Amino acid sequence: MKKVVTSTKAPAAVGTYSQAIIADKTLYASGQLPIDPATGNFVKGGFKEQLAQSLKNLKNVLESEGYTLADAVKVTVYLSDMSKLCVAE
């Protein structure tokens, strides 16, 4: 049995996607974009701000079902430019 997971604290899923699905006591979260759910727009700033918003969205989806980021088994971050990997100030 599957359960569709939705959180108003994360951007709505587009099309036929879901923010997450619970199946067999495991939560499978969809990818999260750096969209501010309050505005529906990408956050301003660069890599650091966008990564922070994406992880905040993921955190909010997980928390809507009682999970935390500490429960995550695997998280993947896709980069379009490897030079953005260095976030040192």
pLDDT tens per residue, range 33-89: 999 999 999 999 988 899 899 999 999 999 999 999 999 999 888 878 877 666 555
What one-character DSSP code corresponds to residue 78? -
Closest CA to 22 of 77, 62, 71, 75: 62
Is the pTM for the entire model greater than 0.85? Answer: yes
Q: What are phi and psi of 64, to 5 degrees?
A: -65, -20
Per domain, the residue ranges of the chain are: 2-85
Pick the CATH number of 2-85 from 1.25.40.10, 3.40.50.150, 1.10.3720.10, 3.30.1330.40: 3.30.1330.40
